[in-house]
């Protein structure tokens, strides 16, 4: 199901009649069947947005649509969403089986619908209990926990607990699956494993999934699309690679990518770009004179041997070798540092004077407000 | 090393003396409860009964009619615990979890009544109960005990410890408040609820002033009230051996109750025991 | 704007009032209304319980009880329990707690035994104590006999109405019995609370002091007791409040006439006892309102102590 947020604003009442705006006039459409990451630093409003979609937080202004249906005023239990929390929120006193079956057996509406579906089953099943059993087993199979149905949550690893939470959210066949920082409580190894698992489960079920995270690695690696928020304001939306290659502004450019993008002060004078104080290259478009920040990612800076465009000179100040690649730090003429990745077998030495270039379409020019004014 | 040992020994010795002194009344009670009425009158009194007369317990049960008092008390305790637990759990859940207008004000009303000495309430409650025509009735013994602000407070604190996310998940899943309370909150708060039930039982078992005021009918008296005057013989002499047997029957069940459920009672103690 | 409001309202759980209903009804009828009504009744002159008539509002009830010698006795006895028995049982409880805190093995066992008085029915235990002090068959006189002391007529009141000397001797003996019983009865809770306080004190303080070679007694005086002072204040205040409500223990020791046989002055009456007696006499005009006035004095005392507690807590509880 498609989810559409239209001019959604959320304000919280603060102390002494102040109001804090958590989300501001958010316009976003999440396509049906996609895995979409809501991404941003903590406090950017991403979880608030998720809770508004879930109906846990009310919307201060604006509307939320599921498909064509306006759900803004609908209580959460009527929205047909499944939710998974960062801390798993499993019922600690119940077994895995009971946890997964909980929404099926304890929600009135759900039970009614299941009874109806049960009556219409073909071929018919012997009894309702067996039907529930089948649904629970299917969900457990999907998250590969069939062997653990009798265990209590405390007897499972973090990753397994998270999968139980996912099974519980999808067993009721929700139209939308909402995941709030589902990986933050896991250790690094499990995190990679579980995120691939989430991707697989989402692909297998085809449920529209919104995934909140502050970790850009996670979002970039599994999402079909990312939505980047800062201070409650939408920064950019698009497929991960595209957002990575074409950041809308300096915030997105800095936020995405690890290691963080090189940012160097410079200026535009007479339609020429200055890297530091040195003239770099002539701009293809005419722009007014102004100070700018220039961003280039590590991997887009290479040694220049053929006198390419967008080349510049620098001095190697240090080389850090880590296995197959090394990170080379250089200094521009005015002393500003930049870093790039090289193969470890490069013969660079500290103090070497090197000629480098930035690959075409990888130089981002941001104005003083942080907006991208050109990409060369 | 030697002084260390001597010091340890002294500590244990002092503690043992203190405990023994404290247990003397229990000893004297049981000792007396097993004497015959003849042996009781011996001076100086015997330190161990010459002959153990368990018949005293039967006599006490029948005579007072102490069996009646005991069963009355058990009945009232069960009724109070059942009703007040239901009342308390529902209210505590509303205060812990639900959103409604006037919540802060109402909660302060509950907290406020905790500060007021219960004894002052007796006067008006007596007037209310007599106007309702409840004198000498089970209602009068049960209903006023069914509200306990402290228990509401205690359970609210416990319920608040259930993580918010469990509630949010069940809301999103369409689970009703009552179901959530029943299936999630209650099982997770079992020990606190048991604690409030035990404290209520002790409260009833020990209550004296209120039942004494509103029951004149022997058929509705509770143990504490029955104990006092029941064992005066025709000659005006108090039959101490029967009185002590009855006292034993009042004290021992609660002591056993405590020994079995020690964990729960002590956890509710810090705040709860002070009410008594 | 309209839509916004609708969305807000949906967030309130209207069923909450259903959950609260039983509790609120009971609270209103048996807790809130009594507080208000007792307060009002205490100012109704000549209040008649059966008809509800009264002769205007005023302070007559308060004037009456303050003129009543029995009320004076009630206050003195209540203060005796609060400020003589309570400190004594605190000293005993603290000593026992310090001893308990010094051991590890058997600690739980001792604590369980020390807890027993707390779960003991007040009336039943009172009867046991009364019988222990029985002049002829009691344990106390027997033990005194072992060390060569003649039997004491502990609870004896014959002839005391005529002789003030005999009266005060009888009174002193009864106070002693009350003292012993109150200390015994109150010790359990205090031990539990002191143990809780002691276990909260950071072990590091002790280690540091031990390394310095400080003596145990000095550690107790210089570290334990100061750090324990918040608990001590708490125990004292709550015990004093409990003491103000003393009633059943006096009834169980001395009977419903609050004194030894032969006494008609209600020698051992307490504040709550006075209130209960006035109420038991509810058919007499003005009696219920006098009971209410006594109840308000109780509330006043409790409030006073609570205020003292707030003051003390502000000053001294920084330790934790």
Enumerate the CATH 3.40.50.300 domain ranges in chain A, comma separated.
3-254
Enclosing H/E stretch for A365 = strand A364-366
- pLDDT tens column, C150-178: 888 898 888 888 888 999 999 999 999 99
**B135-184 per-position pLDDT tens digit:** 999 999 999 999 999 999 999 999 999 999 999 999 999 999 999 999 99
Q: Where are the alpha helices (DSSP H) in chain C?
A: 2-9, 16-27, 33-41, 60-67, 69-80, 86-101, 107-115, 122-132, 139-146, 164-200, 203-211, 216-219, 225-244, 248-254, 271-280, 287-316
The predicted-structure confidence for B200-248, as pLDDT tens digits, reads as follows 998 899 899 999 999 988 889 998 888 877 777 666 678 899 999 999 9
Confidence at C7, pLDDT banded by 50, 70, 90: very low
Q: How far apart are CA C24 and CA C20, in angstroms?
A: 6
What is residue C1's predicted lDDT score, i.e. its pLDDT? 36
Q: Do C184 and B15 touch (CB under 8 A)?
A: no
Of A60, A61, A73, nearest to C10 by CB-CB distance is A73
From CA B200, how far away is CA B219, in angstroms rounded?
23
- Contact at CB, A56 and B166, closer than 8 angstroms: no
pLDDT number for residue C296: 96
**Residue where the block lists tokens 């015997």:** B46
Domains and CATH numbers, chain C: 69-280 (1.10.3720.10)
Work out how many CB contacts closer than 8 A connect B with C: 260
Among A292, A296, A293, A216, which residue's Cα sits nearest to residue A262? A296
Domain B18-275 has CATH 1.10.3720.10: yes
Tokens (6 digits) for C263: 């006494």
Strand partners, A210: A36, A178
Which of A58, A64, A79 to mutate to probe the C interface, most C CBs <10 Å?
A58
Q: Tell me which CATH homologous superfamily contains domain A261-375.
A: Nucleic acid-binding proteins (2.40.50.140)
C16 Cβ under 8 Å from any chain B Cβ: yes
Q: What's the fold here for domain A3-254?
A: Rossmann fold (3.40.50)
Task: Give the burial class of C211: count Cβ atoms within 10 A of its Cβ; 0-12 exposed, 13-18 middle, 19 or more buried.
Answer: exposed
Q: Which of A56-60, B240-244, C227-231, C309-313 has the lowest mean pLDDT?
A: C309-313
Helical ranges in chain A per DSSP H: 46-54, 96-106, 108-119, 128-142, 158-170, 188-205, 216-222, 240-245, 250-255
Among partner residues B23, B98, B250, which is closest to C121 by beta-carbon distance? B250
SS3 A213: strand
Of B263 and B58, the one with more pLDDT: B58
C6 and chain A: CB distance < 8 Å anywhere? yes
Q: So what's the pLDDT on residue A15?
A: 67
CB nearest A106 (choices: B163, B166, B175):
B175
Nearest chain A residue (CA) to C7: A73
Residues in chain C with CB shorter than 8 Å from the CB of A59 are 7
> What is the Cα–Cα distance from C54 to B76, expressed in whole angstroms?
36
Is A192:A184 a contact under the CB 8 Å cutoff? no
B neighbours by CB contacts (3+ pairs under 8 Å): A, C
Chain A interface mutation, best of C10, C12, C13, C15, highest count of A Cβ atoms under 10 Å: C10
pLDDT at res. B276:
30
**In chain C, positions 7-36, which contact chain A (CB-CB < 8 Å)?**
7-8, 10-11
Element (H, E) at B179: helix B177-180
Nearest to C19 by CA among A102, B103, B170: B103
Nearest CA in chain A to C2: A61
Q: Answer whether A72 touches C (CB < 8 Å).
A: yes
Residue C299 near chain B (CB below 8 Å): yes
pLDDT at position C315: 63
Element (H, E) at B237: none
Cα(C278)–Cα(C120) distance, integer angstroms: 28
The whole-angstrom separation of Cα A326 and Cα A318 is 10
List chain B domain ranges. Answer: 18-275
Q: Which residues from chain B sit within 8 angstroms of residue A109, using beta carbons? A: 174
Look at C7 and A75 and tell me if their CB atoms are within 8 Å.
Answer: no
Q: Please answer whether residues C310 and C298 qualify as being in contact, where contact means their C-beta atoms are separated by less than 8 angstroms.
A: no
Is C309 within 8 Å of B115 (Cβ atoms)? no
DSSP lists the bridge partners of residue A322 as A325
Q: Which helix (H) or strand (E) holds A373?
A: strand A372-375
Percent of chain B past pLDDT 70, that is, above it, reads 93
Contact between A106 and B183 using a beta-carbon 8 Å cutoff? yes
Q: How confident is the model at residue B10 (pLDDT cuts 50, 70, 90)?
A: very high
Least confident of B8-12, B107-111, B217-221: B217-221
- Residue B191, chain A, CB below 8 Å: the answer is no
Percentage of residues in chain C having pLDDT higher than 90: 65
Residue C295 near chain B (CB below 8 Å): yes
Residue C319 pLDDT > 60: no
Among A77, A91, A108, beta carbon nearest to B172: A77
- Which C residues, 212 through 241, put their C-beta within 8 Å of a C-beta on chain B? 238, 241
Nearest residue of chain A to residue C1 (CA atoms) = A61
- The answer to whether A55 contacts B183, with C-beta atoms less than 8 Å apart, is no
Chain C stretch 64-123, residues whose beta carbon is closer than 8 A to a beta carbon of chain B: 92, 96, 99-100, 102-103, 106, 110, 112-123
A197 vs A56, A75, A159, A237, C118, CA distance in Å? Answer: 26, 30, 10, 24, 58
**Coil, strand or helix: which one is C82?**
helix
pLDDT class for C318, splitting at 50, 70, 90?
Answer: very low
C69 at the A interface (CB within 8 A)?
no
Q: How far is B174 from chain A (nearest CA, A)?
A: 4
β-partners of residue A61 are A9
Phi, psi of A22 (to 5 degrees): -90, -35
Residues 6+ apart with CB under 8 A from C22: B86, B87, B90, B91
Residue A110 contacts B, CB cutoff 8 Å: yes
Cβ(C148)–Cβ(C138) below 8 Å:
no
pLDDT at B267 (0 to 100):
67
**Structure confidence at residue B273 (pLDDT):** 37
Encode chain A (376 residues) as per-residue pLDDT tens digits.
899 999 999 998 876 677 888 999 999 999 999 999 999 998 899 999 999 999 999 899 999 999 999 999 998 888 999 999 999 999 999 999 999 999 999 998 889 999 999 988 888 888 899 999 999 999 999 999 999 999 999 999 998 999 999 999 999 999 999 999 988 888 888 888 888 989 999 999 999 999 999 988 888 889 999 999 999 999 999 999 999 999 999 999 999 988 899 999 999 999 999 988 888 888 888 889 999 999 999 999 988 888 888 889 899 999 888 877 888 999 988 889 999 988 877 778 888 898 999 998 999 999 999 999 999 8
Place of tokens 């599921």: A66
DSSP string, A10-21: EEEE-GGG-EEE
């Amino acid at each position: 199901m498609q989810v559409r947020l239209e001019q959604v604003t959320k304000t919280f009442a603060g102390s002494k009649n102040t109001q804090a705006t958590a989300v501001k006039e958010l316009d976003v459409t999440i396509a049906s069947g996609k895995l979409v990451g809501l991404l941003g630093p903590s406090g950017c409003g991403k979880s608030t947005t998720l809770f508004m979609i879930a109906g846990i937080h009310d919307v201060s202004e604006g509307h939320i649509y599921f498909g064509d249906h306006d759900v803004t005023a609908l209580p959460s239990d009527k929205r047909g969403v499944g939710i998974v929390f960062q801390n798993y929120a499993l019922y600690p006193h119940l077994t895995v089986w009971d946890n997964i079956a909980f929404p099926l057996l304890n929600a009135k509406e759900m039970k009614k619908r299941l009874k109806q579906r049960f009556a219409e089953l073909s071929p018919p099943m012997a009894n309702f209990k067996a039907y529930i059993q089948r649904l629970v087993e299917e969900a457990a199979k999907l998250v590969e926990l069939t062997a653990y149905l009798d265990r209590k949550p405390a007897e499972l690893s973090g990753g397994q607990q998270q999968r139980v939470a996912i099974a519980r959210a999808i067993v009721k066949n929700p139209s939308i699956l909402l995941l709030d920082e589902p990986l933050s409580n896991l250790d690094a190894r499990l995190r990679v494993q579980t995120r691939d698992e989430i991707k697989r489960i989402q692909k297998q079920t085809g449920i529209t999934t919104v995934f909140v995270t502050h970790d850009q690695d996670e979002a970039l690696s599994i999402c079909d699309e990312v939505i980047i928020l800062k201070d409650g304001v939408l920064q950019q939306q698009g497929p991960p690679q595209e957002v990575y290659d074409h950041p809308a502004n300096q915030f997105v450019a800095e936020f995405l990518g690890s290691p963080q993008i090189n940012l160097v002060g410079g200026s535009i004078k007479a339609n020429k770009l200055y890297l530091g104080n040195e003239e770099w290259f002539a701009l293809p478009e005419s722009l007014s004179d102004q100070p700018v920040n220039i961003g280039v990612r590590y991997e887009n800076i290479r040694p220049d041997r053929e006198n390419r465009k967008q080349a510049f000179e620098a001095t190697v100040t240090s080389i850090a070798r880590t296995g197959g690649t090394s990170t080379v730090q250089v200094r521009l003429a005015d002393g500003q540092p930049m870093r790039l990745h090289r193969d470890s077998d490069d013969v660079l030495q500290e103090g070497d004077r090197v000629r480098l270039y930035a690959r075409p379409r990888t130089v981002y020019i941001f104005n003083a407000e942080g907006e991208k004014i050109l990409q060369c | 090393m030697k002084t260390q040992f001597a010091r340890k020994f002294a500590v244990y010795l002092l503690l043992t003396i203190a405990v023994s002194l404290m247990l003397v009344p229990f000893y004297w009670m049981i000792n007396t409860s097993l004497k015959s009425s003849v042996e009781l009158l011996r001076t100086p009194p015997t330190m161990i009964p010459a002959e153990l007369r368990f018949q005293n317990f039967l006599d006490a049960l029948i005579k007072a009619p102490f069996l009646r008092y005991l069963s009355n008390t058990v009945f009232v305790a069960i009724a109070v615990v059942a009703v007040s637990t239901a009342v308390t759990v529902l209210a505590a859940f509303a205060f812990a979890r639900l959103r409604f207008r006037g919540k802060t004000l109402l909660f302060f009303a509950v907290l406020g009544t905790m500060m007021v000495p219960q004894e002052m309430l007796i006067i008006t409650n007596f007037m209310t109960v007599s106007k309702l025509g409840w004198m000498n009735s089970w209602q009068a013994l049960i209903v006023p005990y069914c509200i306990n602000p402290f228990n509401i407070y205690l359970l609210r604190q416990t319920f608040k410890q259930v993580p918010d996310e469990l509630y949010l998940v069940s809301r999103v899943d369409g689970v009703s408040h009552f179901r959530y309370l029943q299936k999630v909150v209650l099982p997770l708060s079992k020990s606190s609820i048991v604690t409030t039930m035990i404290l209520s039982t002790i409260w009833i078992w020990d209550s004296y002033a209120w039942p004494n005021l509103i029951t004149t009918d022997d058929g509705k008296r509770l143990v504490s009230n029955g104990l006092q005057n029941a064992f005066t013989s025709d000659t005006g002499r108090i039959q101490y051996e029967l009185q002590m047997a009855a006292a034993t029957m009042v004290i021992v069940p609660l002591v056993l109750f405590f020994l079995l459920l020690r964990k729960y009672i002590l956890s509710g103690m810090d705040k709860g025991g002070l009410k008594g | 704007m309209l839509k916004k409001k609708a969305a807000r309202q949906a967030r309130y759980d209207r069923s909450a009032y259903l959950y609260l209903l039983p509790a609120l009804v009971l609270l209103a009828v048996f807790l809130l209304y009594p507080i208000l009504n007792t307060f009002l009744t205490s100012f109704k002159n000549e209040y008649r319980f059966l008809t509800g008539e009264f002769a205007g509002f005023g302070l007559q009830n308060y004037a009456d009880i303050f003129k009543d010698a029995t009320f004076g006795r009630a206050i003195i006895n209540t203060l005796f329990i609060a400020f003589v028995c309570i400190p004594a049982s605190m000293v005993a409880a603290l000593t026992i707690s310090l001893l308990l805190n010094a051991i590890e093995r058997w600690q739980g066992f001792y604590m369980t035994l020390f807890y027993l008085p707390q779960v003991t029915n007040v009336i039943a235990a009172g009867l046991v104590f009364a019988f222990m002090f029985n002049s002829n068959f009691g344990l106390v006189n027997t033990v005194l006999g072992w060390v060569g002391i003649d039997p004491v007529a502990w609870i004896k009141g014959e002839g005391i109405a005529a002789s003030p000397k005999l009266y005060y001797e009888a009174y002193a003996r009864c106070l002693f019995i009350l003292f012993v019983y109150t200390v015994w009865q109150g010790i359990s809770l205090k031990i539990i609370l002191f143990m809780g306080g002691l276990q909260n004190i950071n072990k590091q303080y002790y280690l540091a002091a031990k390394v310095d070679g400080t003596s145990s007694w000095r550690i107790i005086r210089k570290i334990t007791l100061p750090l324990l002072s918040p608990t001590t204040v708490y125990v004292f205040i709550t015990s004093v409040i409990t003491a103000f409500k003393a009633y059943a223990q006096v009834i169980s020791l001395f009977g419903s006439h609050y004194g030894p046989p032969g006494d008609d002055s209600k020698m051992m009456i307490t504040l709550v006892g006075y209130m209960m007696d006035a109420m038991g006499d509810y058919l007499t005009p003005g009696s219920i309102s006098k009971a209410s006035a006594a109840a308000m004095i109780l509330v006043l005392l409790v409030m006073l102590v609570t205020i003292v507690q707030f003051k003390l807590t502000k000053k001294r509880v920084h330790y934790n």
